[in-house]
Structures are given as structure tokens and as C-alpha cells.
């Protein structure tokens, strides 16, 4: 963990440099008490493994405190919580203290900006339950994204940024997973209308434990706006990577044609079709907002080192106003998931999300379908995840939550089914708000956004 002392210290110094008098600090205090039941803990395939599915009931208590600062040039959040888990059937319990720090700010107006975050805990926000009977070590996840961004009148917008994210185990003293990226672009903003152009490049490197992947690309684009609502763009370029063959770089051309339609401020639809080294295919993104509800659908194709897609968390600690739907991001490697795998997959992923915020009730529906093919063609994984969460505000202080999760996973190896498992999980939670204040995160936990 010592290798993260310098970046962590940098993050602390950025936070401590925020002038207290330039904005307001807000304090939010919560306690969450819940119980969850599952019919297949660990997503066990009983047909292949011979193991019996584990029915489990898990009780939890989680007090948390959050400090939120909003100033003229910086926004900062500091959050601390401790969650206590008690597993009923296995007589297993865990105490997990967590800390999260984040800051985003302007160092030089219209030029130099920075985003940073630091998470510490046995479970990171997107993680699931613990493995039964195993004492999980705490982890540190650090993300750092300084970037230069400047508007050059109506001529173009310029960007140059560096992104880093890593995860350290608490005991081995070395970085288990590490990813870096550099990207630049110079392009005319579509909001100015007429003929549009742009060029840029990206370099990504994953040097996690047992992993050494690199990808570099350069591209140029031409486009045009039609009226105030339609934007056409054609992008072409080249990329070089060593995903498929770790001993020899693979170079190939890439291209994409897309159209973006924005009929009003509540609706954005973008569809495209392109070709990269792993094949051709479509992409799509739709976001529609009506009064107090939001719907979003995204279909993406890319490279990932994670075989476990995740739903966005629905908790007091990490919830943001649009938490049921993944934000637009430029991730380092595929979906940005950090794992210790050393084999990349081509992933086709469909995400659907809906959130309804009422006066006293909120509803979140979230679903992910993922199809992953190993680059060498030896394995295929299909995953389906679904979630329905219903919040009922019983009083200005108390919220009752019902949350249902479904998870299914099929893995085929060399044409034969290797595993096929499914899990149903139901949870009930009471959340007590000591401050009678609604909390909405001001920070985005994604680099290069």
C-alpha cells in the first residue's frame, strides 16, 4: 500500500487546500439497518459442481457520516461509514469500516482542472457480499484525473488529460491492479452548428498483476449539424494493441458513423455503427426525461478484463440523482472494472435504467445483459442482472426500502456448458436521516468523463 501514499497525499492536499470561507460545508448523518435473503449465495452451479446451493440470510447495520463542500472553484466530499454483517446460516460476521474522499476543481480558469477520488474498505461500492468464511482484506482504490481544457472562442475546444486508477490490497505491499490513460482532442463544438471537424488520440495501458495490455489510437472526424437538433459525424483512424497476442502488436483501421438527435432538452438519442479490430457492430445511447422520471438505454461494444458486470449501487453512501443509469464515460479498459484476470474479452452490453422520483416514493429499475467472448475464442459468458428498488419516505427522517436483485450467469467453454447458475435476492432496509436534509452527490466517480 506504500505505493499509494504519494497519490493519496496529493488528494489530501488538494482537499485541504480548499478555502473554507469560499463556500459552505454540509453535514449528512445516516444509519441503515437491513436484512437480505438469497436462495443461492455465491451463484453456485449445482449441476456441475455437485455443491448444494446455499440459502442465506444476512443482517446488516451501517452508520455513516458525510461532509460535502461546494465552493467557487472546488467541490469536495468526505464520507465515512462502518457496516456490520451477520450471516445467519454460516455463523459468519464481518466488520467493514470504509472511507471515501473525492474532489473536483478548477486550478486555472478555462485551462487546468482535476478530479480525484480515494476509497478504502473491504468492499468497494460496486462489490457484492463477502465470500463465506473468508476474512477479506481491506482495499484502497485511487483515481486521479488532471486535465487541460480550453475553449478557443468559436473555433474549437481543446483537451489533454491523464487518467489513473489502481487498487491495492492491504497486506502484500504492492499494487494489484493499475491502469493509466492519456488522451487529447481538438474539435469544433457541435453547439456552434454548421460544418464540424476534429482530431485526437488515446493511449491506454493496463499493468495489473499478471496483465500487460496496451492500446493506442489516433483519429479524425468530420460532421455537420442539421437545424438545431441533428448532428452527423464520421470518424476514421487507426489503432495498435496487444490484446489478442501479447508478443506482437496488432494494428488495424477503425471507423464509426453516427447520428445524434436532440429534439428537446429532455431527450437525447445517439446511434452509430463502426468497425474495430474485434469486429463490426452498432452502438446506441438514449436518455429521456419526463417531469420526475428518467429512462436510459445504452448498447456498447468494447474490451473488458472483468467477467462480472455489475449493476449501479443503490445505497445512501453512493447514490446520485441518476444512480440507476450509468453515465457517459471514457473508460481506461472497457468498462473500467479492475480485476486480476489476464485475459481480455470482447463485450457486448445492453443497459436499461428507469428512475421515478415521487413526493414520498421513489422507484428504480435497472438491468444489464452482457455477452462476452474471449479474444482467442475459447470461452463465452452470458450474464443477466436485474434490480427493482422501491423507497418509501415514511417521514422526513425515515425511509423504508425494498430491493429485489436477480443474477444469472452461463459460461460455455469449447462448446460445452461449463456452468449455469442463478440467484434471487430480496432485501429490506430502514434508513434514518438525522438531519432532515436530502442528499445528492456533487461528484462524479469516473475519470476522463
User: Could you tell me what percent of the chain has a pLDDT over 70?
Assistant: 78
Q: Give the C-alpha separation, 96 to 264, whole Å.
A: 45
Place 178 in a pLDDT band, splitting at 50, 70 and 90: confident
Rounded to an integer, the average pLDDT of 227-251 is 83
Instruction: Cell numbers for 309, please give them.
Output: 458486470
pLDDT in tens, 346-404: 999 999 999 998 888 999 999 999 999 988 778 899 999 999 999 999 988 899 999 99
pLDDT in tens, 280-313: 999 999 999 988 899 999 999 998 877 788 887 7
Contacts of 416 (CB under 8 A, 6+ apart): none
> Which residue, 97, 100, 95, is CA-closest to 84?
95
- Identify the architecture of domain 2-433 in CATH: Beta Barrel (2.40)
Q: Is 158 exposed, middle or buried (0-12, 13-18, 19+ CB in 10 A)?
A: middle
Measuring CA to CA, how many Å separate 270 from each of 125, 247, 263, 448? 29, 37, 12, 20
Place 139 in a pLDDT band, splitting at 50, 70 and 90: confident
- What's the whole-model pTM score? 0.82
User: Where are the domains positioned within the chain?
Assistant: 2-433
DSSP one-letter string for 77-101: EEEEEEEEEEETTTTEEEEEEEEEE
- Name residue 421's beta-bridge partners: 409
Dihedral sign for Cα atoms in the order 333, 448, 366, 270 = negative
pLDDT in tens, 98-122: 999 999 999 999 999 999 999 999 8
Neighbour tally for 319: CB within 10 Å: 20
Amino acid at each position: 500500500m506504500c505505493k499509494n501514499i504519494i497519490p493519496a497525499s496529493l488528494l489530501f492536499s488538494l482537499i485541504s487546500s480548499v478555502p473554507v470561507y469560499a463556500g459552505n460545508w454540509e453535514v449528512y448523518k445516516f444509519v441503515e439497518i437491513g436484512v437480505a435473503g438469497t436462495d443461492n449465495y455465491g451463484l453456485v452451479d449445482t449441476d456441475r459442481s455437485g455443491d448444494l446451493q446455499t440459502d442465506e440470510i444476512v443482517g446488516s447495520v451501517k452508520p455513516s457520516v458525510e461532509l460535502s463542500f461546494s465552493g467557487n472553484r472546488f467541490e469536495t466530499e468526505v464520507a465515512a461509514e462502518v457496516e456490520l454483517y451477520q450471516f445467519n446460516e454460516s455463523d459468519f460476521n464481518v466488520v467493514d469500516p470504509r472511507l471515501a474522499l473525492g474532489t473536483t476543481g478548477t486550478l486555472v480558469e478555462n485551462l487546468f482542472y482535476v478530479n480525484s477520488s480515494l476509497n478504502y474498505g473491504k468492499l468497494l461500492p460496486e462489490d457484492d457480499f463477502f465470500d463465506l468464511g473468508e476474512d477479506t482484506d481491506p482495499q484502497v482504490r485511487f483515481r486521479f484525473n488532471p486535465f487541460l481544457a480550453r475553449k478557443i472562442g468559436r473555433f474549437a475546444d481543446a483537451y489533454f488529460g491523464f487518467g489513473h486508477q489502481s487498487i491495492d490490497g492491504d497486506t502484500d505491499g504492492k499494487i494489484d491492479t493499475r491502469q493509466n490513460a492519456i488522451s487529447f482532442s481538438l474539435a469544433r463544438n457541435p453547439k456552434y452548428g454548421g460544418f464540424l471537424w476534429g482530431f485526437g488520440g488515446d493511449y491506454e495501458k493496463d499493468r495489473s498483476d499478471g496483465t500487460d495490455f496496451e492500446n493506442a489510437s489516433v483519429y479524425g472526424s468530420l460532421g455537420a449539424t442539421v437545424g438545431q437538433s441533428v448532428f452527423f459525424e464520421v470518424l476514421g483512424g487507426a489503432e495498435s494493441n496487444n490484446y489478442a497476442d501479447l508478443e506482437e502488436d496488432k494494428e488495424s483501421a477503425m471507423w464509426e458513423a453516427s447520428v445524434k438527435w436532440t429534439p428537446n432538452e429532455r431527450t437525447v438519442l445517439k446511434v452509430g455503427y463502426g468497425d474495430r479490430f474485434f469486429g463490426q457492430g452498432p452502438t446506441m445511447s438514449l436518455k429521456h426525461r419526463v417531469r420526475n422520471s428518467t429512462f436510459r438505454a445504452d448498447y456498447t461494444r468494447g474490451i473488458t478484463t472483468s467477467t462480472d458486470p455489475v449493476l449501479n449501487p443503490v445505497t445512501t453512501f453512493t447514490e446520485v440523482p441518476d444512480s440507476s443509469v450509468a453515465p457517459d464515460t471514457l473508460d481506461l479498459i472497457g468498462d473500467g472494472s479492475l480485476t486480476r484476470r489476464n485475459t481480455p474479452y470482447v463485450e457486448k452490453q445492453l443497459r436499461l435504467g428507469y428512475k421515478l422520483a415521487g413526493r414520498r416514493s421513489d422507484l428504480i429499475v435497472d438491468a444489464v445483459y452482457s455477452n462476452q467472448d474471449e479474444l482467442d475464442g475459447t470461452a463465452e459468458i452470458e450474464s443477466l442482472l436485474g434490480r427493482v428498488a422501491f423507497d418509501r419516505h415514511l417521514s422526513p427522517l425515515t425511509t423504508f426500502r425494498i430491493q429485489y436483485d436477480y443474477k444469472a450467469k452461463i459460461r460455455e467453454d469449447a462448446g460445452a456448458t461449463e456452468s449455469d447458475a442463478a440467484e434471487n435476492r430480496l432485501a429490506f432496509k430502514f434508513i434514518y436521516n438525522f438531519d432532515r436534509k436530502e442528499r445528492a452527490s456533487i461528484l462524479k466517480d469516473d475519470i476522463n468523463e
